[in-house]
Chains A and B, each alone.
Chain A
Amino acid sequence: MLALLVTLPIAAFIAILFGAPARLTAIAASAINLALGLYAAITWQCGCWTFSLPVLAKPSLHLAFGFADGMSAVMILLSVIVTLAAVLSGKAPEGKEKLYFGSSLLISAGALGAFAATDLFFFFAFHELALIPTFLMIGMLGRGDRREAAWKITIYLGLGSMVLLAGLVWLANLTGTYDMALMVKAAHQVDPASQKGIAALLLVGFGTLVSLFPFHSWAAPAYASAPAPVAMLHAGVLKKFGLYGLLRLAIPLVPEGLQFWLTPLLVLLLGNILWVGWVTISQKRLDSMLGNSSVMHMGYIFLAIAALIAFPANPLAQSAAVVLMFAHGISIALLFGLADRIERSTGTLDLQELGGLAKSAPGLAFLFGIAAMASIGLPGLANFSGEILVFLAAFKSYNGTSGLGPVQITCILSIWGVVISAVYMLRAYRKTFQGPSVAATANADDLTLADRIPATLLIITLFAVGLYPNLLLNLLK
């Protein structure tokens, strides 16, 4: 069943290549996948979701899928939801439907494969598979400086993957297996000296994929010029692969090594939150602002990871990271989808040229408002549930007697990021939707019913997790 989940988008991709109607096929495949994914997320504990196909005898290599824990199930859920929303809200340029929807499906398949894989090789390979269509789509169908953006993301992620691959190979050599479950069991074979090295490689490798400061400058231009479904899928889903990898491999396998790098990690994540936060404030375009904001919010998830490193066996931190990954994926996908819609309505995303859009497009204003509020962590929407858990996780060991530790101080500084994100989000909202109407927005058309469906899907998810986070937390148990 799990293999079906992964291969369905690939099958749909092949069908599209052979002439099936691109949009319909993509939507159908994603809808089926959403149903499957929901079912999988609810029943992942039954043990019936495993799949294994021997590929090589020596070294033993299996194309294997399964749910190691609730985290994979949640990530699968995230992928299928965002995929459906992405293919529903994307509008392909004339004559490029095959490329547009086919690539979206491939990215989705790659993400699903990476999150479902239990074998190190395929874990890595599926992610790389998803990157290729990402590069192609940005380069061929993007907007603005698409070539430069495509090159930059290619070089960055290529280098990041290389570093990551080195770390993974080192790890596989020491543990002597590619099976991730067995690797974790053999964690004691990783000696302290190697731990430091591997931890550094994994942090930089996974970190680059997640746009950890200072390896972040690929993200904003890439998302700004990517077509909507790619931005949604990459920022929403694929980027979480790096965090997922850190939680899945680095934390259980090289805990001491990560301890060693804790202080640099804290500094870097503050770079994400504060530095990139300030950068975001000064953006003049909605798309690059959203791109930067997605980089900034990664800092909070890294904070959860840092809390997990600093205080091992901190169930709060683990869940906090997963909830926030999920919430951020949904909300950023929603924002990118709606920003694309704004551009289609008004022809521009330059904040100086926009204003008063709420008058002509109240539906768009309402949905974008919810998305913006979600992204700045308003209670009742999913991101808040994640952020509050992250903060609580960071304060887990504080009891007043010994003063604030480095993680707590980082946490306090990160909470200032909540103010920063409110500044840029509200400023963008103010400039886009409020104030008197201007030329670009006076006759802008509002959302059609078809436009509302993907946004509503994402918003319902945001509300469900925000109003009652136990829905998601129960999956993690």
Chain B
Amino acid sequence: MNLAWILLFLPLAIAAANQLILKKTGLAPLLSTASALGTFALAVMLLGKNETSHFAWATLGDFSINIGIKLDQLSTGMMIVVTGIGLLVHVFSLAYMKEDEAKARYFTSLSLFMFSMTGIVLADNFIMTFIFWELVGLSSFLLIGHWYQKNSAADAAKKAFLCNRIGDFGFMVGILMLWGITGHLGFDQMKSGLAAFQAANPAIFSSVLSAAVLCIFCGAIGKSAQLPLHVWLPDAMEGPTPVSALIHAATMVAAGVYMLFRLQFTLGFEAFEALQASTVIAWTGGITALVAALMATQQNDIKRVLAYSTLSQLGYMVMAVGLVHGEAGMFHLFTHAWFKALLFLGSGAVIYACHHEQDIWKMGGLLKKMPITGFTFLIGFAALIAVPYTSGFFSKEQILEAAHEKEPILFWIAAVVAVLTPFYMTRLYVVAFLGKNRSENASHAHEVGPLMLGPLVILAVLGVIAGFPFVASKFAPAYLQPEHLVHLGFVTYVSVGALAIGVLTGFMVYAGKEKDPISIPLLQNRFYVDGFYDNFIVRYFQDTFASIIAFFDEWVINGLIVNGLSRSAESLGNRFRLIQSGSLQGYAFVFGLGVLIVVYFIVFGR
């Protein structure tokens, strides 16, 4: 158990040491990487443990908020993902950020992120989840805004934090409601509390629980960037690319899914069957998957394509949770983490090689220039589009099965997404890696160094094997039944068919093209959602509303009421001023009069 506490607090200690002592020495990157290695080793050691341990964080009489650690298949498996990808990203960053001035700050933030993410995963109660939930928001803010002098990066960081805050509003309310319903905050005690509530109030049980679950789901919407709060994730690509791989593809954005599954797991799956909230969750996920995939088809920035693809895959996972097939979602989370981290790090290598060129139309022919990167990227690409017997295939299959079984319409939506995914990924690959160099930067690109290639190769291997039962059943953060993992049937045919259609059309449309033959402004502008938020919600609604209120505050409350009061006090004072004639004898006269009155009352008054 002590290992788990070390696992939690080691990155925090490293972050503090980096910030306070090592900032100027240049040791910070190495120390952070060493701590990532340490946490990975600890995570491996903890695998398969089932324990809990806690201490009181805030005690008030018989009520206390605890900080605790809960180890089970779910959390230890998730820790493998977090620390494993974390370690590889640290190593990759050593090379990627070598020339950055603020390396120390970058690695300090990474360590802080590792601490926060570990906290979410290991938490044994909802308050602790919330605490670390907010802290990952902070570390994401710091890392997106790493190049804070760029206006776009600073704005993206702010946007990410605020979108998460909006989600957290619901999350907090949900936690409070759930606390009221079950009477507990800890995961272990909640189930019995809920059962007692159900027994006492069978009539309203489902609606009250639905309300609470939906509120909590708001938190997941923010963190996992589901519609309508998805806008921050593509902008978050302003951060350094390794960060996008770690935080905005593999781990933090998956925290929403993890938390939802933890909630289901805690309260029992049977409570979620036929709950209205589950339907809402499933549909939110399905629609996000579809919309994000559509938007991905028309993006030109290599990282933005991947970001929308992440959104779309997260939509899949959320949908699976909503269909009360959380294992499928968690399985997809597990496989997706590896291959998406691979894709992002691959794109990082490409961007690094092309001198920070991110537009795919200015790349081209990179496979020849950087064969290892290109090949590993191809593996990630294959896993993402679910080529049979890559990891993505197994997990996507599970989700499609679940949808097929529960909700046919969602199944067909998911199938459309399964066509779109190979389409936009083929577009990306064909344009960026095949054909001929289309810019100066691309023609000067050459293979990156071993510190970057190492993580890519390891991730490529994992991207293939992570879905096989012998890996997944051991490491995945879900209770999977190996015999069910591969199961040929109708769903498989749909999935493979979709894959074939997507790849073929993608290839036919984009092979050998110099510029995008398709132009759909609606998709390029991401359905105008960002513009709507920026211009309407933020500028008109919030700011104008704020100015109006400030105007009222200034002129009505302050002007009329307050200044009115002070004016009347002033005029009253002016009246009294007349009495102060300054004539000494006048004063003496009044004084004498006063004495007379006092004497009168004393003598005759009783």
Query: Using a CB–CB distance below 8 Å, which chain A residues touch chain B?
Result: 151-152, 155-156, 159, 214, 217-218, 275-276, 278-279, 281-283, 315-316, 319, 356, 358-359, 373, 378-380, 384-385, 388-389, 391-392, 394-395, 398-401, 408, 411-412, 415-416, 418-419, 422-423, 426-427, 430, 433-437, 468-470, 473-474
Name B140-182 residues within 8 Å CB distance of A.
145, 148-151, 154-155, 157-158, 161-162, 165-166, 168-169, 172-173, 176-177, 179-181
B569 beta carbon closer than 8 Å to chain A: yes
Question: Chain B residue with minimal CB distance to A358?
Answer: B148
Give how many B residues have a beta carbon under 8 Å from the other chain's beta carbons: 58
Q: CB-CB contacts of B128-144 with A at 8 A, as 1s and 0s?
A: 00111011001000000
> What is the distance, in angstroms, from B109's C-beta to the closest C-beta of chain A?
12
Cα A218 to Cα B169 in complex, Å, equals 30
B127 x A388 contact (CB < 8 A)? yes
Instruction: Indicate which residue in B131, B161, B183 contacts A426 across the interface (CB closer than 8 Å).
Output: B161
Asked if B1 is an interface residue, CB under 8 A from chain A, the answer is no
B169 and A419 form a contact (CB under 8 A):
yes
A214, A359, A426: the one contacting B162 at CB < 8 Å is A426
Could you show 28 A-B contacts with beta carbons less than 8 Å apart?
A152-B562, A275-B549, A275-B553, A281-B543, A315-B61, A316-B60, A379-B134, A380-B131, A384-B134, A392-B176, A394-B176, A399-B197, A400-B177, A400-B180, A400-B197, A400-B204, A418-B165, A418-B172, A422-B161, A422-B162, A423-B162, A436-B151, A437-B149, A469-B58, A470-B56, A470-B59, A473-B58, A474-B59
B65 / chain A contacts, CB cutoff of 8 Å: 388, 392
B546 adjacent to A279 (CB under 8 Å): yes
Cβ of B593 within 8 Å of any chain A Cβ, yes or no, is no
**Which 3 pairs from chain A and chain B are nearest by CB?**
A398-B180, A434-B154, A379-B131
In the complex, the answer to whether B57 meets A469 with C-beta atoms within 8 Å is yes
Q: B545 at interface (Cβ–Cβ under 8 A)?
A: yes
Asked if B535 is at the interface of the complex by the 8 Å CB criterion, the answer is: no
Q: Is the CB of B542 within 8 A of A281?
A: yes
Q: Is B409 an interface residue (CB 8 A)?
A: no
Tell me the number of A-to-B contacts counted with CB atoms below 8 Å: 142
Closest approach, in angstroms, between the C-beta of B128 and any C-beta of chain A? 9
Q: Are the CB atoms of A415 and B562 closer together than 8 Å? A: no
A413–B543 CA distance with the chains assembled, in angstroms: 19
Task: Enumerate chain B residues within 8 angstroms of A278, measured Cβ to Cβ.
Answer: 545-546, 549-550
Interface contacts beyond A156-B562, A388-B130, A392-B65: sample of 11 additional A-B pairs, CB < 8 Å, sorted by A: A279-B550, A282-B549, A379-B134, A391-B172, A400-B180, A401-B204, A418-B172, A423-B542, A426-B162, A434-B157, A473-B60
Q: Taking the nearest CB of chain B, how far is it from the CB of A331, in angstroms?
A: 16
- A389 x B562 contact (CB < 8 A): no
B208 within 8 Å of A (CB atoms): yes
Rounded to whole angstroms, the CA-CA distance of A430 and B153 in the bound complex is 10
Chain B residues closer than 8 Å to A388, beta-carbon distance? 65, 127, 130
Q: Report A407 CB to chain B, min CB distance, Å.
A: 12
Minimum CB–CB distance from B334 to chain A (whole Å) comes to 27
Measured in the bound complex, the distance between the Cα atoms of B61 and A474 in whole Å is 10
Q: How far is the CA of A315 from the CA of B64 in the complex (A)?
A: 12
Contacts of A151 in B (CB 8 A): 566
Determine if A422 and B60 form an interchain contact, defined as CB atoms under 8 angstroms apart: no
- When each residue 29-61 of chain B gets 1 if its CB lies under 8 Å from chain A and 0 otherwise, what string results? 000000000000000000000000000111111
Q: How far is the CB of A322 from chain B (nearest CB, A)?
A: 11
For B58, B61, B569, the residue with the greatest tally of chain A CB atoms inside 10 Å of its CB is B58
Task: Give complex CA distance A159, B181 in Å.
Answer: 45
* Contact status B58-A470, CB under 8 Å: yes
Mark B residues whose CB is within 8 Å of A.
56-61, 63, 65, 127, 130-132, 134-135, 138, 145, 148-151, 154-155, 157-158, 161-162, 165-166, 168-169, 172-173, 176-177, 179-181, 183, 197, 200-201, 204, 208, 542-543, 545-547, 549-550, 553, 557-558, 561-562, 565-566, 569
The contact of B546 among A217, A282, A356, A408, by CB within 8 Å, is A282
Inter-subunit contact B130/A379 (CB<8 Å): yes
A470 contacts which of B57, B151, B204 (Cβ < 8 Å)?
Answer: B57
In angstroms, Cα B132 to Cα A433, docked, is: 25
Q: Is there contact, CB below 8 Å, between A214 and B158?
A: no
Q: Which of B60, B155, B158, B542 contacts A319 (CB 8 A)?
A: B60
Q: Determine the distance from Cα of A178 to Cα of B255 in the docked complex, in whole angstroms.
A: 57
Chain A residues near B201 (CB-CB < 8 A):
400-401
Q: Nearest residue in B to A281 (C-beta to C-beta)?
A: B546
- Decide: A415 near B549, CB < 8 A? Known: A319-B60, A430-B158, A470-B57: no
- B135 and A378 within 8 A (CB): yes
Tell me which of A217, A359, A469 contacts B149 (CB under 8 A): A359
Do residues A279 and B154 form an inter-chain contact, with CB atoms below 8 A?
A: no
Shortest C-beta distance, A275 to chain B (Å), equals: 6
Residues of the B chain whose Cβ atoms lie less than 8 Å from the Cβ of A408: 176
Chain B residue, CB-CB nearest to A422: B165
Complex contacts, A399 vs chain B, CB 8 Å: 180-181, 183, 197
> Are A395 and B565 in contact, CB atoms less than 8 angstroms apart?
no
Residues of B within 8 A of A279 (CB): 546, 549-550, 553
Across the interface, do B558 and A217 meet the contact criterion of CB distance under 8 Å?
yes
Q: How far, in whole Å, are A469 and B134 apart by their CA atoms in the complex?
A: 17
Chain A residues whose C-beta falls within 8 Å of the C-beta of B565 in the assembled complex:
155, 159
Instruction: Please give the distance in Å from A160's CB to the nearest CB on chain B.
Output: 12
With known contacts A275-B549, A389-B58, A422-B161, A155–B169 Cβ distance under 8 A: no
The smallest C-beta distance from B544 to any residue of chain A, in angstroms, reads 9
Give chain A residues whose Cβ lies under 8 Å from the Cβ of B177: 395, 398, 400
Complex alpha-carbon distance, A217 and B546, angstroms: 16
**Residues of the B chain whose Cβ atoms lie less than 8 Å from the Cβ of A275:** 549, 553
- Which B residues are in CB contact (< 8 Å) with A419? 162, 165-166, 169
Chain A residues within an 8 Å CB radius of B155: 430
Shortest A114–chain B CB gap in Å is: 25
A320 CB to nearest B CB, Å? 8
Q: Is the CB of A435 within 8 A of B546?
A: no
- Out of A379, A392, A418, name the residue touching B135 (CB < 8 Å): A379
